Structure 1
Protein backbone atom coordinates (compact mmCIF):
# COMPACT_ATOMS: atom_id res chain seq x y z
CA UNK A 1 0.00 0.00 0.00
CA UNK A 2 1.11 3.55 -0.71
CA UNK A 3 -0.09 6.92 0.54
CA UNK A 4 -0.53 10.46 -0.71
CA UNK A 5 -0.71 13.02 2.08
CA UNK A 6 -1.04 16.72 2.79
CA UNK A 7 0.76 18.24 5.75
CA UNK A 8 -0.02 21.56 7.35
CA UNK A 9 3.20 23.42 8.10
CA UNK A 10 3.85 25.76 11.03
CA UNK A 11 3.92 28.74 8.64
CA UNK A 12 0.43 27.91 7.30
CA UNK A 13 1.61 26.43 4.01
CA UNK A 14 0.88 22.92 2.76
CA UNK A 15 3.27 20.14 1.82
CA UNK A 16 2.08 17.33 -0.46
CA UNK A 17 3.96 14.03 -0.56
CA UNK A 18 3.66 10.30 -1.06
CA UNK A 19 5.18 7.32 0.73
CA UNK A 20 4.81 3.62 1.42
CA UNK A 21 5.17 4.14 5.21
CA UNK A 22 3.11 7.11 6.37
CA UNK A 23 3.99 6.85 10.06
CA UNK A 24 7.74 6.71 9.37
CA UNK A 25 7.54 9.56 6.86
CA UNK A 26 5.64 11.77 9.31
CA UNK A 27 8.37 11.11 11.87
CA UNK A 28 11.01 12.13 9.35
CA UNK A 29 9.22 15.37 8.52
CA UNK A 30 8.87 16.26 12.19
CA UNK A 31 12.40 15.31 13.27
CA UNK A 32 14.01 17.34 10.49
CA UNK A 33 15.21 14.45 8.31
CA UNK A 34 12.33 14.77 5.83
CA UNK A 35 12.13 17.04 2.81
CA UNK A 36 14.10 20.30 2.80
CA UNK A 37 10.83 22.24 2.55
CA UNK A 38 9.48 20.81 5.80
CA UNK A 39 12.75 21.16 7.77
CA UNK A 40 12.24 24.91 8.01
CA UNK A 41 8.49 24.71 8.70
CA UNK A 42 8.10 22.32 11.62
CA UNK A 43 6.03 21.06 13.30
CA UNK A 44 3.97 19.27 10.68
CA UNK A 45 0.35 18.24 11.11
CA UNK A 46 -1.25 15.58 8.93
CA UNK A 47 -4.32 17.23 7.39
CA UNK A 48 -5.29 14.62 4.79
CA UNK A 49 -4.18 11.26 3.43
CA UNK A 50 -5.43 8.58 1.07
CA UNK A 51 -4.17 5.08 0.44
CA UNK A 52 -3.51 3.60 -2.98
CA UNK A 53 -2.96 0.03 -4.07
CA UNK A 54 0.16 0.93 -6.03
CA UNK A 55 3.08 3.32 -5.47
CA UNK A 56 2.81 4.79 -8.97
CA UNK A 57 -0.84 5.72 -8.33
CA UNK A 58 0.04 7.52 -5.08
CA UNK A 59 2.93 9.33 -6.78
CA UNK A 60 0.73 10.40 -9.71
CA UNK A 61 -1.92 11.75 -7.33
CA UNK A 62 0.79 13.58 -5.35
CA UNK A 63 2.02 15.30 -8.51
CA UNK A 64 -1.51 16.26 -9.50
CA UNK A 65 -2.31 17.78 -6.07
CA UNK A 66 1.02 19.63 -6.03
CA UNK A 67 -0.23 21.56 -9.05
CA UNK A 68 -3.45 22.63 -7.32
CA UNK A 69 -4.06 26.02 -5.76
CA UNK A 70 -4.68 26.44 -2.04
CA UNK A 71 -8.48 26.66 -2.35
CA UNK A 72 -8.61 23.37 -4.21
CA UNK A 73 -6.34 21.64 -1.66
CA UNK A 74 -8.56 22.87 1.16
CA UNK A 75 -11.63 21.48 -0.63
CA UNK A 76 -9.88 18.10 -0.86
CA UNK A 77 -8.93 18.22 2.84
CA UNK A 78 -12.53 19.06 3.74
CA UNK A 79 -13.89 16.28 1.51
CA UNK A 80 -15.71 18.65 -0.82
CA UNK A 81 -15.14 16.51 -3.92
CA UNK A 82 -17.98 18.19 -5.81
CA UNK A 83 -16.19 21.57 -5.55
CA UNK A 84 -12.90 20.40 -7.07
CA UNK A 85 -13.74 20.94 -10.77
CA UNK A 86 -14.92 24.52 -10.18
CA UNK A 87 -11.74 25.31 -8.23
CA UNK A 88 -9.41 24.48 -11.11
CA UNK A 89 -7.31 27.49 -12.10
CA UNK A 90 -8.65 27.36 -15.67
CA UNK A 91 -12.22 27.40 -14.37
CA UNK A 92 -11.47 30.61 -12.43
CA UNK A 93 -9.81 32.20 -15.48
CA UNK A 94 -12.85 31.37 -17.63
CA UNK A 95 -15.26 32.69 -15.00
CA UNK A 96 -13.35 36.02 -14.76
CA UNK A 97 -13.69 36.64 -18.52
CA UNK A 98 -17.50 36.69 -18.43
Structure 2
Protein backbone atom coordinates (compact mmCIF):
# COMPACT_ATOMS: atom_id res chain seq x y z
CA UNK A 1 0.00 0.00 0.00
CA UNK A 2 1.40 3.37 -1.03
CA UNK A 3 1.22 6.33 1.29
CA UNK A 4 0.23 9.63 -0.23
CA UNK A 5 1.39 12.85 1.38
CA UNK A 6 0.48 16.51 1.28
CA UNK A 7 3.28 18.72 2.53
CA UNK A 8 4.01 22.39 3.13
CA UNK A 9 7.50 23.81 2.88
CA UNK A 10 8.60 27.27 3.89
CA UNK A 11 10.86 28.88 1.32
CA UNK A 12 13.85 31.06 2.22
CA UNK A 13 11.81 34.18 1.39
CA UNK A 14 9.17 33.22 3.99
CA UNK A 15 6.54 32.06 1.49
CA UNK A 16 4.85 28.66 1.65
CA UNK A 17 4.59 26.01 -1.04
CA UNK A 18 2.11 23.14 -0.78
CA UNK A 19 2.53 19.93 -2.75
CA UNK A 20 1.71 16.25 -3.11
CA UNK A 21 4.14 13.32 -3.09
CA UNK A 22 4.57 9.67 -2.15
CA UNK A 23 7.96 10.36 -0.50
CA UNK A 24 8.26 13.57 1.51
CA UNK A 25 12.00 13.47 2.23
CA UNK A 26 12.84 12.80 -1.43
CA UNK A 27 10.58 15.61 -2.56
CA UNK A 28 12.01 18.17 -0.14
CA UNK A 29 15.51 17.16 -1.28
CA UNK A 30 14.41 17.70 -4.90
CA UNK A 31 13.16 21.17 -4.04
CA UNK A 32 16.45 22.01 -2.33
CA UNK A 33 18.45 20.67 -5.28
CA UNK A 34 16.55 22.95 -7.65
CA UNK A 35 14.71 20.02 -9.24
CA UNK A 36 11.37 20.65 -7.56
CA UNK A 37 8.52 22.88 -8.58
CA UNK A 38 9.25 25.97 -10.62
CA UNK A 39 7.97 28.11 -7.72
CA UNK A 40 10.62 26.83 -5.31
CA UNK A 41 13.62 26.86 -7.67
CA UNK A 42 14.61 30.42 -6.85
CA UNK A 43 13.52 30.21 -3.23
CA UNK A 44 15.85 27.59 -1.79
CA UNK A 45 16.59 26.33 0.70
CA UNK A 46 13.15 25.16 1.73
CA UNK A 47 12.19 23.64 5.07
CA UNK A 48 9.44 21.11 5.66
CA UNK A 49 6.95 22.66 8.09
CA UNK A 50 3.89 20.39 7.76
CA UNK A 51 2.86 17.03 6.29
CA UNK A 52 -0.25 14.86 6.31
CA UNK A 53 -0.54 11.19 5.24
CA UNK A 54 -3.46 9.78 3.26
CA UNK A 55 -4.36 6.29 2.05
CA UNK A 56 -5.60 7.42 -1.36
CA UNK A 57 -4.17 9.74 -3.95
CA UNK A 58 -7.53 11.38 -4.61
CA UNK A 59 -8.01 12.28 -0.96
CA UNK A 60 -4.49 13.69 -0.77
CA UNK A 61 -4.94 15.76 -3.92
CA UNK A 62 -8.24 17.12 -2.59
CA UNK A 63 -6.50 18.15 0.64
CA UNK A 64 -3.63 19.72 -1.31
CA UNK A 65 -6.12 21.84 -3.24
CA UNK A 66 -7.89 22.78 0.01
CA UNK A 67 -4.66 23.94 1.67
CA UNK A 68 -3.64 25.91 -1.41
CA UNK A 69 -6.85 27.93 -1.03
CA UNK A 70 -6.01 28.86 2.58
CA UNK A 71 -4.95 32.38 3.42
CA UNK A 72 -1.43 32.83 4.76
CA UNK A 73 -2.83 33.25 8.29
CA UNK A 74 -4.74 29.98 8.07
CA UNK A 75 -1.65 28.17 6.75
CA UNK A 76 0.33 29.52 9.70
CA UNK A 77 -2.33 28.17 12.08
CA UNK A 78 -2.17 24.79 10.35
CA UNK A 79 1.61 24.70 10.75
CA UNK A 80 1.49 25.73 14.42
CA UNK A 81 -0.91 22.91 15.28
Q: TM-score, normalised by structure 1?
A: 0.78
Q: Which runs of 5+ in 2 are unaligned?
A: none
Q: TM-score, normalised by structure 2?
A: 0.94
Q: Which runs of 5+ in 1 are unaligned?
A: 80-98
Matched, 1:75 2:73: no
Question: Cα offset for 1:7?
Answer: 0.3
More strand by percentage = 2
Q: Rg bigger for which structure? A: 1
Q: Tell me how large the CA RMSD over aligned residues is.
A: 0.6
More helix by percentage = 1
Runs of 4+ in 1 over 2 A off after TM superposition: none
Question: Cα offset for 1:78?
Answer: 1.0
Give the total of aligned pairs.
Answer: 79
Higher RCO structure (Cα 8 Å, ≥6 apart) = 2
